Amino acid sequence: MKLITIKRSGFYLTCRDELEGLAIWLAELAEARAGTHFALVAGATFQVGWSMMKFLETSDGLALCEPDFDSDPFIHFRNDVSTTLAVLLQQRELLSKLGCQPVDFRFDDKVVMRKGCLVEQGIYGERSQPGKGDSGWYFGPTSEHPTPVADDLEAMWAFQLLRKKPHLLTAMCLPVNWIVVWAGTEIVGIANEHNQELLR
């Protein structure tokens, strides 16, 4: 894995080399927002899709950082933004294929699921209206029966899927009332709010 650094006026960012194109877009977005939404200083933050970016002072200057998803992303940040960009890239590719607009969620939003479903080969996800701190997503096994009750459910933060089922994050930007079905890591079906099958 080769890391590259992209330097802009007043800050820099670091990522894996295969993400360079999206990293340039992110740097340009940061510059544009710094001119209208916040000052380009250490501690400034802004949301990009599912992630929250933060400028931090390092020995090499002001760095654009992402939450440290491998430790405590509520507190710690790191100056390699590869995870943020990799998930964004996968989401963009899916949205482009489907021709729809994203409905954002955040890494620190809640995800509800049937207990134990993440070990299943077949998983489906259905999105309800998201709210503050709630992605709106429910995940269950495709063989789900009967309908779960409260004791059957558990919740986790969206970023915790990075370790357990990272491919689920790809589809979590899809609109309300859409349904997605996975077989292993592959999406094998998507239906929109009108129950029209868009991908199979």
pLDDT band at 144 (very low <50, low <70, confident <90, very high): confident
Tokens of 51: 């992630």
Q: What are the residues whose beta carbons fall under 8 Å from the beta carbon of 65, sequence distance 6 or more?
A: 53, 54, 55, 56, 77, 78, 79, 81
Would you place residue 37 in the very low, low, confident or very high pLDDT band (cuts 50, 70, 90)? Answer: confident
Report the predicted TM-score, pTM, of the whole model to 2 decimal places.
0.94
Taking the C-alpha atoms of residue 5 and residue 143, their distance in angstroms, rounded to an integer, is 46
- Average pLDDT, stretch 35-64? 93
What's the pLDDT score for residue 3? 95
pLDDT at 200: 60
Domain ranges of the chain: 3-91, 100-199
Confidence of residue 93 (pLDDT cuts 50, 70, 90): very high
Inform me whether the pLDDT recorded for 33 exceeds 80. Answer: yes
Please give the helix or strand (H or E) that residue 155 lies within, else none.
Answer: strand 153-157
Looking at residue 198, its pLDDT comes to 87
**Amino acid of residue 187:** I
Percent of the chain with pLDDT over 70: 100
Measured CA to CA, the distance from residue 178 to residue 190 in angstroms comes to 7
CA atoms in the 13 A half-sphere facing the CB of 119: 2
Average pLDDT of the residues of the chain:
95
What would the mean pLDDT of 58-87 be, rounded to a whole number?
Answer: 97
